Amino acid sequence: MQDCKTEARLPEGMAGLAKGLAILEAFSPRRRRLTITEAAEVSGTSRASARRCLLTLAELGYLDFDGKYFRPQARLLALSSGYSGSRSLPEIAQPFLVSARNRLNESISLAVLDGQSALFVARAEAERLVTTGIQLGTRIDLYCSATGRVLLSGWLDDRIAGYLDETEITARTRHSLVKKAALRDAVKQARANGYATTDQELEIGLRSIAVPVFDGRGNVVAAMSASASSARVTISQMVNTFVPALRASADGLGRIA
């Protein structure tokens, strides 16, 4: 709990920083989400101060807010990676991406949730003349990609419905799913199957498949994916061949991430 005497001795700006750090430290593997009231209690600040800190952290991209709960976001990795004794998620993931790439001879990517987007943070490239355009730092809307639908599959149904209601759905190609009921079904199917696919929804001639990366508590913390030309592979072939390789690498990563 924040030391009130120490806080009182700090300049106003530094006191605000101290409160923000206290709130960030309140998150843990056993406390992955906080309400404003809970944040105030665990950080020893007033509800008003906790609210200001939480909203500021959400605006800066460090937290996600669904209207009730605040949750840590991928941008916090940038803070932890500055510690000299730590390894970031992309560093930990790279050997597993390389393993899947070598098995499939396809480029393999890792993405995490970043606000309302899937953010690609690691990638193992295959030697092909035609690439998918995915690079480190690329962001893709959650609703229209296999990667995004896998990340959405870790949300509660009410949160998924709220996200779709607030999001402007745009068709990228003539194959894109645009009806919200169909998108909800696609996310539920991804949750049930343990993988998601898209067939030329983002780009004509491109098929993609993604699987979730689970942490030790069964939470979806990332998505591992592969894309291939529709001229080379069918969706059925991707499910039968790609899923086992992606699943093996994703499970290995989840055990140590």
Structure confidence by residue, pLDDT tens digits, 164-202: 999 999 999 999 999 999 999 999 999 999 999 999 999
Q: Are 24 and 37 in contact (CB under 8 A)?
A: no
Please report, for the chain, the start and end positions of each structural domain, with discontinuous segments joined by +: 4-72, 89-256
C-alpha separations of 76 from 21, 51, 71, 88 in Å: 12, 19, 11, 10
Cα 12 from Cα 18, distance rounded (Å): 10
Question: Per mean pLDDT, which range of 25-34, 63-72, 222-231 is the poorest?
Answer: 25-34
Are both 4-72 and 89-256 of the same fold?
A: no
The average pLDDT across 97-103 equals 94
Instruction: Categorize the per-residue pLDDT at 248 as very low, low, confident or very high, splitting at 50, 70 and 90.
Output: very high
Query: Comparing 1 with 51, which gets the higher pLDDT?
Result: 51
- Structure confidence at residue 7 (pLDDT): 43
Asked if residue 13 has pLDDT above 60, the reply is no
Token output for 166: 């607030």
Rg over CA atoms, the chain: 20
Asked if residue 243 has pLDDT above 90, the reply is yes
Name the DSSP letter for residue 164: H
Place of tokens 């605006």: 59
The average pLDDT across 210-237 equals 93
Q: Which superfamily is assigned to 89-256 in CATH?
A: GAF domain (3.30.450.40)
Name the DSSP letter for residue 43: H
| Mean per-residue pLDDT of the chain | 85
- Structure confidence at residue 102 (pLDDT): 93
First vs last C-alpha separation in the chain: 28
Strand segments (E) across the chain:
63-65, 70-72, 108-114, 117-124, 139-141, 196-199, 206-214, 220-229
- Structure confidence at residue 9 (pLDDT): 46
- Structure confidence at residue 1 (pLDDT): 41
The average pLDDT across 5-32 equals 64
Token output for 42: 């665990």
The average pLDDT across 219-231 equals 93
- The DSSP code sequence of 80-132 is HTTSTT---HHHHHHHHHHHHHHHHTS-EEEEEEETTEEEEEEEE----SS--
In tens, the pLDDT along 23-63 reads: 887 776 567 789 999 988 887 888 998 899 899 888 888 88
Our measurement of the distance from residue 45's CA atom to the centroid of its chain's CA atoms, rounded to an integer in Å, reads: 29
What architecture (CATH level 2) is domain 4-72?
Orthogonal Bundle (1.10)
